[in-house]
Structure 1
């Protein structure tokens, strides 16, 4: 199946290149980062953090940052898998024009994708909501553990897709959260929380990527989040060929001229090899 699907994806890419690629959580599961939804597009885990909830009070933020402190080491240790590397090689070969990702894990960047739009931001940094100052998430982790030394010895927790972790309430009780190093303001991960608007610059860059491409390939996304689905709608409205590679149904299936329900790692690796863009081990 993987070989046949890889052959079909390779043929589609060769026919329609250069294409924009829109990726979702399914692209990173082989790197050990869980996805959000099942094959029917339903939530597999509690709904991710909403901005309104994050801003609702210090106790909510205390719980969030405690869970984030528990989950960050796993996210920081994640490495790009062969799907990320295949897309970077296909870009170098001129077959992929831009990767637009809904993921916040930074794995496309680390795999070598150069024309990259991180639609929902970056989990590897935090932003002050008062002055806008940025700080690396790794540096904040050191500050979190310095303020909460007992937390470093807490039992390993189940990591969730947004980089936080399932954590017992008693472990979050009394967790101390530092403020901005510059002004003491509230810190927020530099990502788009669920229900939050995508920043205008990122939305415009993603739209431009679709408009400049000759086709759109969706990889590992159910397209249940509108910021991704709108790009598929925009491509279809322009008459561009749309293809979807995903395990499970997606919101954009009716707009796709080609659809493969297959593992994206095996499929993209096989497709890249057939197109002379072998994926480095």
Structure 2
């Protein structure tokens, strides 16, 4: 794609955003990777839920991985992409941000109305009674007492896991339902660094465009959705989104 076409596409997207009354931004694993941390929400990272429930060796291996990566996730800072989304929320009518990421970096950047449809890695939840625990506190307790598998201090019998959807588990019902409502009612959708290969997210741009919304993909690589959205801006979200912020400011001042 030529530089001239790229600039024209960026300007068009900036105009669409400036004119939108119910804009939605969908983000995904590219933003997580740009922050230099692993995506703990990816299905290949997590074991089958039945194996996790029944096999202590599976639980031990999983919690060993969490203990290794969580300090990196907890210490991670928002990238230029996260900060740009926060700026867009100030510049325009951004209804919400839907994210596949489980790292909460959008919230750390100051974004409000964030729907974490894969939930959050920052909590552990009892599979028996539903009691929630902060992840760092859980890992600290495990280290202090030499435990390989954390258990619930309330019901005493429950095993803890992050509230992420493991293979064999549905996605969080409320968050997915709210995301569908936002997608159906939006008039502009940006898919920034999102994984659009699996449902329900794969249908989001189709549903939005079918309802009359302008749809845009921002990604470092070509994807299956590129052929049926209104515009594609190729490049890493940490590069493209700040450029979009500047273009929105420019077109808004004209």
Deviation, 1:90, is 0.9
- State TM-score, norm by structure 2: 0.87
Answer yes or no: is the 8 Å Cα contact 1:131–1:183 preserved in 2: yes
Deviation, 1:17, is 4.9
Deviation, 1:73, is 0.8
Aligned-pair RMSD on alpha carbons?
2.4
Q: 1:194 to 1:6 in 2, by over 3 A?
A: farther
Which structure features the higher share of helix residues?
2
Q: 1:28 to 1:90 in 2, by over 3 A?
A: same
Of 213-222 and 248-257, the range deviating more from structure 2: 248-257
Answer yes or no: is the 8 Å Cα contact 1:219–1:245 preserved in 2: yes
Of 205-214 and 107-116, the range deviating more from structure 2: 205-214
Q: Does residue 1:138 correspond to 2:136, yes or no?
A: yes
User: Which residue number in structure 2 is paired with residue 78 of structure 1?
Assistant: 76
- State TM-score, norm by structure 1: 0.79
Q: Does residue 1:237 correspond to 2:210, yes or no?
A: yes
Unaligned runs of 5+ in 2: none
Return the alpha-carbon distance in structure 2 between the equivalents of residues 238 and 85 of structure 1: 29
Return the alpha-carbon distance in structure 1 between the equivalents of residues 83 and 185 of structure 2: 23
Return the alpha-carbon distance in structure 2 between the equivalents of residues 253 and 53 of structure 1: 37
Answer yes or no: is the 8 Å Cα contact 1:84–1:107 preserved in 2: yes
- Equivalenced residues, count: 243
Answer yes or no: is the 8 Å Cα contact 2:219–2:234 preserved in 1: yes
Unaligned runs of 5+ in 1: 37-44, 149-174
Q: Does residue 1:27 correspond to 2:31, yes or no?
A: yes
Question: What secondary structure is seen at the aligned counterpart in 1 of 2:162?
Answer: strand
Return the alpha-carbon distance in structure 1 between the equivalents of residues 169 and 230 of structure 2: 31
Q: 1:191 aligns with which of 142, 164, 188?
A: 164
User: Which residue number in structure 2 is paired with residue 172 of structure 1?
Assistant: none
Instruction: Deviation per CA, 1:23-45: give whole Å up to 9, x if none.
Output: 00112222112469xxxxxxxx9
Q: 1:6 to 1:52 in 2, by over 3 A?
A: farther
Return the alpha-carbon distance in structure 2 between the equivalents of residues 218 and 81 of structure 1: 17
Answer yes or no: is the 8 Å Cα contact 1:222–1:248 preserved in 2: no
